[in-house]
Structure 1
């Protein structure tokens, strides 16, 4: 993972950020949660019905239903926010280390909450 990060961002900034224990822990937790979400989706994919209740803010009925592929919105958006927040953390760590920590831990919480939502949706229908 470190090799990929140093290819995407300036190496000295990534190394400085990665040496911070809390940032390293939060990044690893987020990555582990994302891997487990994708594994959970792979394991349950075949047992999912063709229509799922996904859009709870819409009126009750068929408007709330969506295809199983829409379940990927949650982990992929978590991945997007994780990459964005980590990028911002890399460039803000030297001047604002607290802001970098907040960004990385916010990613962990976003990933965790998206995972809970996804698991609840799947457990609701299975």
Structure 2
């Protein structure tokens, strides 16, 4: 029987995918990566390779804040809880895809 997909399970699955992708591509990652695409072309776009971890950390922070809001503020509101569930799933998918796309672009 299928279990309900919780945000925690999806987040753990995304983490496993991100760690696996990073593990396979780690030796190909250059010391500086183009992370700040909104900056002018050149050195201002470059960041140290460890700064790639900002994306998964931000993903966890956003999902954590949304989950806290869902459990504390909107626990009796079914509609708001459903919206926050969808927002959390969207956040996980978008941040994971952006991280993996950046990994494949720089390697």
TM-score normalised by L of structure 2 = 0.85
In structure 1, the gaps of 5 or more residues are 1-20
1:25 aligns to what SS in structure 2? coil
Q: Deviations over 1:87-115 (max 9, x none)?
A: 11112444211211211221111111111
Structure ID, larger Rg: 1
Shift of 1:83: 1.1
Does residue 75 of the first structure (1) align with residue 53 of the second (2)? no
Does residue 25 of the first structure (1) align with residue 5 of the second (2)? yes
Higher share of residues assigned helix:
1
Count of paired positions: 104
Using CA pairs under 8 Å that are at least 6 residues apart, name the structure with larger relative contact order, 1 or 2: 2
Does residue 53 of the first structure (1) align with residue 53 of the second (2)? no
Is 1:92–1:100's contact at 8 Å kept on the other side of the alignment?
A: no
Does residue 119 of the first structure (1) align with residue 93 of the second (2)? no
What is the match of residue 70 of structure 2? 89
- RMSD over aligned Cα, in angstroms? 1.7
Query: Residue 65 of structure 1: which of 42, 46, 64 is its match?
Result: 46
Is 1:26–1:108's contact at 8 Å kept on the other side of the alignment?
A: no
What is the match of residue 107 of structure 1? 88
What is the match of residue 13 of structure 1? none
2:37 aligns to what SS in structure 1? coil
Q: Which residues in structure 2 correspond to 1:5-24 (within 5 Å)? A: 24=4
